[in-house]
Amino acid sequence: MENGSKATSNFSIPEYDLKSSGKKMPRLGFGTATFPFEPAEVTKKAILQAIEIGYRHFDTASMYGSEQPLGEAIIEAVSVGLIESRDEVFITSKLWCSDAHGELVLPSLQRSLQ
C-alpha cells in the first residue's frame, strides 16, 4: 500500500491516484451520517475534529442532513488554519433514490453543491 495523508497521530491513510487530476484521494473517508440525527452544530464539530486529526475525505448525502454542516466546517477549517484550502478536501455525496429520476437529478446535485 502507498503511504497516504499523515494525521497528527502518525498513522497514514492509503490513497487512490486520480489520474485525470493528478491528485491523490484518501481511500478512507469520514462518514457524516448520524442516527439518530444530530443537530447541525454537533455534526460540524465532529467534522472539524476529523479534519484536525487528518481526515481529508468526507462522505455525505442530502438525506443525512450533513452537507451544509460539512461545508461550514470546511470554511472554518480554512479560516483557522487546519487546512490551507478547500482543494485539500474530497467530498463524496449521493442522491437518494427519490431524486435519481430524469429531471430531478440536476436540481438535486445543484442543492448538494451549495
Residues with active-site annotation: 64
Tell whether the torsion through CA atoms of 35, 6, 57 and 48 is positive or negative: positive
Q: Among 56, 49, 1, which Cα is nearest to 29's?
A: 56
- 59 bridge partner residues: 31, 92
Q: Give the whole-angstrom CA distance, residue 54 versus residue 104.
A: 35
What lies within 8 Å, CB to CB, of 20 at 6+ separation is none
